[in-house]
């Protein structure tokens, strides 16, 4: 499906470099891009609220006719999001890694081939959210002033345990960011993980921006409906 008219993007800033590059292409024409910070993923309810508020603000601009969501399902953080005056378009993808790989099928195939893989991307490296030598300092800084020392130690230990099952690091990129690639390799070396690099595929992200949107790869949410989960974990639009 292809919806005509003026398009605005609401995006996680994990895609900042990738969308900036795609915007340079002559057939990509966007009214605006609104960014939300990637840390919202840590709290799906907060993510849902912030996305809904941003959609309402974009929807109030009469010049905008379609809102494109540069998001995966993100821990079900987008379930319940409602379209207002404008239809919403979003990829059928579990997360940003699937989008940067060009679709869910490739991500699933890679995980089948190498279970316990942690994916690194330029955005996640830039946001200091990846496991590696700088992760503990980031976690401590994030909780400083919010909790006492004992609680912070417990949170640091829980964060460390969350990454214990991983054995492989895979760096996915469509922007040729050598600095992020080298840092990802350094993280893998420090953790004793096997490292590999996979060239990303910009097709899904680019199609989100320019269309057409096939029902197989994208969900179009008509005005007044909301994002819901259908059978077999598939996204669908339903009455709000």
Question: Residue 129's pLDDT is what?
Answer: 84
Q: Residue ranges per domain, the chain?
A: 7-96+202-239, 104-199
Over pLDDT 70: what percentage of the chain?
98
> SS in 3 state form for the chain?
CCCCCCEEEEEEHHHHHHHHHHHCCCCCCCCEEEEECHHHHHCHHHHHHHHHHHHHHHHCCCCCCEEEEECCCCCCCCCCCECCCCCEEEECCCCHHHHHCCCHHHHHHHHHHCCCEEEECHHHHHCCCCCCCCHHHHHHHHHECCECHHHHHHHHHHHHHHCCCCCEEEEEECCCCHHHHHHHHHHHHHHCCEEEEEECCCHHHHHHHHCCCCCCCEEEECCCEEEEECHHHCEEEEEC
**Given a cut of 80, is residue 22 above it in pLDDT?**
yes
Over pLDDT 90: what percentage of the chain?
81
pLDDT digits (tens, 9 = 90+) for 186-238: 999 999 999 999 999 999 999 999 999 999 999 999 999 999 988 766 889 99
Question: Residue 233's pLDDT is what?
Answer: 62
Question: Residue 229's pLDDT is what?
Answer: 87
pLDDT digits (tens, 9 = 90+) for 148-186: 999 999 999 999 999 999 999 999 999 999 999 999 999
**Given a cut of 80, is residue 25 above it in pLDDT?**
yes
Q: At 110, list the tokens.
A: 């890679």
Alpha-carbon Rg for the chain in angstroms: 18
Average pLDDT, the chain: 93
């Amino acid at each position: 499906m292809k919806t005509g008219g003026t398009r605005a993007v609401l995006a996680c800033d994990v895609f900042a470099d990738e969308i900036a590059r795609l915007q340079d292409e002559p057939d990509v024409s966007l009214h605006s891009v609104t960014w939300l910070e990637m840390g919202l993923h840590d709290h799906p309810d907060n993510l849902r609220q912030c996305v809904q508020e941003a959609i309402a603000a974009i929807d109030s601009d009469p010049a905008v006719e379609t809102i494109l969501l540069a998001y995966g399902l993100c821990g079900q953080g987008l379930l319940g999001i409602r379209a207002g005056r404008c239809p919403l378009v979003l990829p059928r993808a579990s997360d940003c890694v699937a989008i940067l790989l060009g679709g869910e099928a490739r991500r699933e195939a890679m995980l089948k081939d190498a279970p316990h893989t942690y994916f690194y991307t330029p955005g996640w490296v830039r946001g200091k959210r990846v496991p590696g030598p700088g992760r503990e300092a980031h976690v401590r800084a994030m909780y400083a002033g919010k909790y006492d020392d004992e609680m912070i130690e417990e949170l640091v230990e829980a964060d460390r345990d969350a990454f214990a099952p991983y054995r492989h690091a895979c760096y996915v990129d469509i922007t040729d960011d050598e600095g992020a690639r080298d840092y990802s390799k350094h993280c893998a070396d420090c953790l004793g993980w096997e490292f590999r690099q996979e060239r990303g595929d910009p097709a899904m992200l680019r199609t989100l921006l320019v269309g057409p949107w096939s029902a197989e790869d994208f969900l179009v949410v008509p005005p007044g409906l909301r994002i819901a989960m259908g059978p077999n974990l598939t996204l669908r639009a339903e009455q709000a």
